[in-house]
Amino acid sequence: MSDLDPVIGIDLGTTNSVVATVRDGVPVVIPNRAGQLLTPSIVAIAKNGKRLVGALAKRQAITNAESTVYAAKRLIGRRWGSKEVEDARRALPYALVPGPEGNDVRVQLGGRALAISEISAMVLAELRADAEAWFGRPVRRAVITVPAYFNDGQRQSTKDAGLIAGLEVLRIINEPTSAALAYGFGKQMEKKVVVFDLGGGTFDVSILDIGKSVYDVVAVGGDTYLGGEDFDRRVMDWLTFTFAKENGGIDLRQDKMALQRLRDGAEKAKCELSGSTAASIHLPFLVGGGDGKSALHLAKQLAREKLEELTKDLIDRCVAVTERTLKDAGVRAVQVGEVILVGGMTRMPRVQHAVRELFGKEPCKGVHPDEVVALGAAIQGHALTAPQPKGQEVLLLDVTPQNLGLMVVGGYFSTVIPKNTTVPTSQTHLFTTVQDNQTQVRIAVLQGESERAIDNELLGEFILDGIRPARRGEVSIEVSFDISADGIVGVSARDVVTGQEQSITVTATSGLTEEELRRILDEQRDDLLERKQSERDLGERRGQVLAIVREIEELVPAVTGALERTRFGKDAIQKAEGVLARVRAAVAAGDQAALQAEEESLERTLQLFKGLAATGRPPGR
Amino acid sequence: MGSGDRYSGFVFNPADLSEDVDVDVERRREILFADANLSRWTLWEVLGLPWNATADAAKAAYLDKVKVFHPDRYGGKRLGSYRGRLERVFRKLTEARDTLGDEPRRAAYARATAPADEFAKLEARKLEDDRRADERRARLSRQNPLLGRVARVAELVQRGKQAFLEGRFSQAANDLQVALTLDPKSVELASLVADARRKAGATRAADHYDRGVSAEVMGRSAAALAAFKEALEADPGNVRAAAAATRVALQLGDVAEARARAEAAVRAGPSIGLAHEALGMVLEAEGQRREAKKALERALELDPRLESAKERLKKLRWSFLG
């Protein structure tokens, strides 16, 4: 099987992302090139113009807040002017601007306005590169997960991001379903399973019927704007509020660097409180005192009870969504055989307590909340590309999370495909002309749960063109709505009488236009060539540098004796050790710039050691 | 099993069978046959089930069928034109499961698709029941109680017990009853007879009840009522049948009949929600709303899962307001 192209599963998270694969029939997480399993979903343009992704981007976020993009998942596929985007604009330190059509959201970064898909693509490309380093060969195919509650626009944009990152996206699958797949992998079972997925930015709940190795999703529910970051924000708000009260009304939110440190401090304290009952938040020199006074420090104790009080309504919202979803599925809490917790936020004791209360049972402890989603995606990717051995066959039957429908007279929403319908699925709808010689019909396609069209997400407006002229009501157009296994919506139409296909024009979508996508992909190809070149350079340089390091290491025993007799000996050895450590770190991270910077001092150390070794040798040579 | 009879009369296109894809020939036949018949088949036929099969059967059949017809089950294989065929069949399977796995939708679909031969079967079954009853009577009269009494008793008891074990309760009741007339003092025999009779009655009642439900589904209320009554004759304590008879009688507008059935139901099962719901329906039909409400509330108290009673009560409360 090793001659086949590798397939990866990617959990593209709000805060962290994970990549996994199936090796020798076993799903495993692929560590990134720095050896970590989790890669922060953060992209930055550093002060020197370099693009940074992951831990490197996170590390410099405090000093470079305006050019560091995090939580892009919250914006993907969102419409400019929507409530979600307006909220984000107020809370995020980086600048958002509308796209060229005025529909979608762009991020102002490094002098360019980048689509959210492009930002996510940078994270995906990083994960892809990590996987390639791990496999030692190119990786082209992937399954990517999204929250179950993502709508068509959000799924399409995620797929676009994969495309931009040079990946063939085999399937977009839902995170909870993916988690259930990883949970059930290799086990024989027949039971109802609830996946409770509280991640960094989204909350999802899915109810599955697992039996005969078929993973049949019965119902999904969720809130795409409820996650760990909301918990962080509650802590931040509390900190800013008390800080202002204690320091004469200084508003920390005005200082982007302070805000970023506050965010880190809040997140750290929250995580700490999962294990202990109190955490201290200590941020020295947080903000200048104003009027030339000395800088102010923040030092606070946060008790677990206080955190629970601050976030009680968030947990209540999770419970309410779960109860509603159970009702949709026609499943009572006592019938549930297993509850799987996914997402870092489910480590919070209060969340686990709420789940225990609701289902009257202990949630499953057997899965790793951070890794399980990526593992499931890897399993699905494997199942889609390789014949499955007997007894390990899996089949996912997922559902569409929201009603798909049309706007009808009076601004109402008429459902064509109801939520929780198994995908892929299709439905047809008949339209007739309402005027004599009418040649056009305009159809607004929406997704959501409100009866009023305007409260739902507009997926697009379609214009049915070139209808044959006839008396009104004489032409019937059959429009088919299709939802693919990815949860992506397609629309096609045909004249019932003549059987002729009608052309459909999309007049409004969120995200990248087709033209833009093509341009980005073209650029990407150039980038790719460049990357290949620079990778080759990096490889060569790494080889040279490592040879020097080895040479120095071999000289160390001979040199140590000679150096210890000199005045500057100890100092020189320490310096040399520092140089070696920095070089090794740069090699491990594949950081070409750092390597280049160290090359000179490395060369100097080598010359010094060589000289010392020559003079330090016993006389008589 | 040869595929010849399964697909009899169906002509496969040789081009489809020889397409260069990674699907074996037997599987190709299965897919081509299903795809070609999709528009002709009823949703039950799509799932490979008989007409009016239960919702649970539909769900179970779906899980088995999707393993054959879901394109994802062919990971890493070239499917060519078969991908589209599989997708079409899968969508139809899903439609069938969604319709037939949901009780109200299944009932509506059953009414709309009831085939003519099912009506015929309904009639035929009644004739069959009569024929069997005649046979029983004839057999009884043939038996001579005066000869070889003891051996005869032993034989009858053995046969009766065997029949009992195999679930043929009427047969068992007959044999044991004859044995009891030959040996009237046996207490063990008497209790066996009573047991077999009760079971036989319940079985016959269940049979009649099913027939009644089929008739009701087909919109034949009169035939349904007759069947439910027969069920009650076989097993007077059958609350389910009494409640069903009440329902059908009300549909037929026979309130007096409905009332008698509902009262019988409550007598037979004073602690069964279904019986009180039936009474509630009658009272509502008679215009005694307050009493009807009480009965429905009692029904729900006894059995909180009675969705129909819940609905009825809700409507009743609303009409109080109006």
Whether residue A73 lies in the annotated active site: yes
Question: How crowded is the C-beta side of A35, counted as CA atoms within 13 Å?
Answer: 4
Total residues belonging to chain B = 322
Is the pLDDT score of A323 beyond 90? yes
Structure confidence at residue B1 as a pLDDT band (50, 70, 90): very low
* The pLDDT of residue B143: 59
Tens of pLDDT, residues B43-59: 999 999 998 899 999 99
Fold adopted by B236-322: 1.25.40
pLDDT at B97 > cutoff 60 = yes
| CA-CA-CA-CA torsion sign (B78, B83, B85, B86) | positive
* Residue of A189, A214, A416, A486 to mutate, testing the B interface (most B Cβ within 10 Å of its Cβ): A214
Say whether pLDDT at A1 is over 50: no
Model confidence pLDDT, tens digit, residues A3-44: 468 999 999 999 999 999 999 889 999 999 999 999 999 999
Beta-carbon separation of B66 and A388 below 8 A: no
Question: Which tens digit of pLDDT belongs to each residue from A2-14?
Answer: 446 899 999 999 9
More confident residue, A551 or A70: A70
pLDDT surpasses 60 at B130: yes
Phi, psi dihedral angles at A385 (to 5 degrees): -120, -15
A422 vs B contacts (CB less than 8 Å): 94, 97-98
Q: What are the tokens at A135?
A: 């496999």
Q: Is B63 close to A383, i.e. CB distance below 8 A? A: no
Are the beta carbons of A422 and B75 separated by less than 8 Å?
A: no
Query: What's the rounded mean pLDDT across residues B100-128?
Result: 78
Q: How far apart are CA B296 and CA B274, in angstroms?
A: 9
**Closest CB to A395 among B70, B91, B97:** B70
Contact B19/A at CB under 8 A? no
Second-level CATH architecture of A403-512: Sandwich (2.60)
What distance in Å separates residue A212's CA from the closest CA in chain B? 8
Average pLDDT value over all residues in chain A: 86
CA-based nearest residue to A504, from A453, A459, A440, A414: A440
Give residue B320's pLDDT.
Answer: 54
Does residue B70 belong to the interface with chain A, where contact is any CB pair within 8 Å?
A: yes
* Weakest-pLDDT range from A228-242, B257-271, B307-321: B307-321
Residues of chain A with Cβ-Cβ distance to B90 below 8 Å are 424
Mean residue pLDDT of chain B comes to 84
Q: Which residues of B touch A172 (CB under 8 A)?
A: none
- Cα dist. A68→A61, A200, A203, A471, B70 in Å? 6, 17, 24, 59, 44
| pLDDT (0 to 100) of residue A276 | 93
Catalytic, out of A175, A230, A370, A516 = A175
Whether A197 is catalytic? yes
Which position has the token pair 């078929």? A214
Report domain extents, chain A.
7-226+315-397, 228-312, 403-512, 515-615
Fold of B7-113: Helix Hairpins (1.10.287)
Cβ-nearest to A395 among B72, B97, B98: B72
Question: Could you tell me the sign of the dihedral formed by the alpha carbons of A589, A592, A594, A600, in that order?
Answer: positive
pLDDT of residue A472: 84
Q: Which of residues 484-513 of A touch B (CB under 8 A)?
A: 485
**SS3 assignment, position B281:** helix
Rounded average pLDDT over A578-593: 75
Beta-strand pair A43-45/A51-53: antiparallel
Point out the catalytic residue in the list A58, A73, A192, A270.
Answer: A73
Q: Indicate the pTM of the whole model.
A: 0.70
Contact between residue A227 and residue A255 where contact means Cβ atoms under 8 Å apart: no
Please provide the CATH number assigned to the domain covering A228-312. 3.90.640.10
Instruction: Give the per-residue pLDDT at B119.
Output: 64
Whether A234 shows a pLDDT value over 90: the answer reads yes
Please report which confidence band the pLDDT of residue A311 belongs to, taking 50, 70 and 90 as the band edges: very high
- A388 to chain B, any CB pair closer than 8 A? The answer is yes
Note the pLDDT of residue B175.
84
Q: Which of A329, A343, A385 is nearest to A231 (CA)?
A: A343
pLDDT interval class at A142 (50, 70, 90)? very high
Q: Which fold has domain A7-226+315-397?
A: Nucleotidyltransferase; domain 5 (3.30.420)
Q: Kindly name the residue from A104, A130, A160, A197 that is annotated as catalytic.
A: A197
Please, are residues B262 and B284 in contact by the beta-carbon 8 Å criterion? no
Give the pLDDT confidence score for residue B322 in this predicted structure: 40
Question: What is the domain partition of chain B in residue ranges?
Answer: 7-113, 116-218+227-235, 236-322
Average pLDDT on A529-541 reads: 66
The residues with which A219 forms a beta bridge, in sequence order, are A207
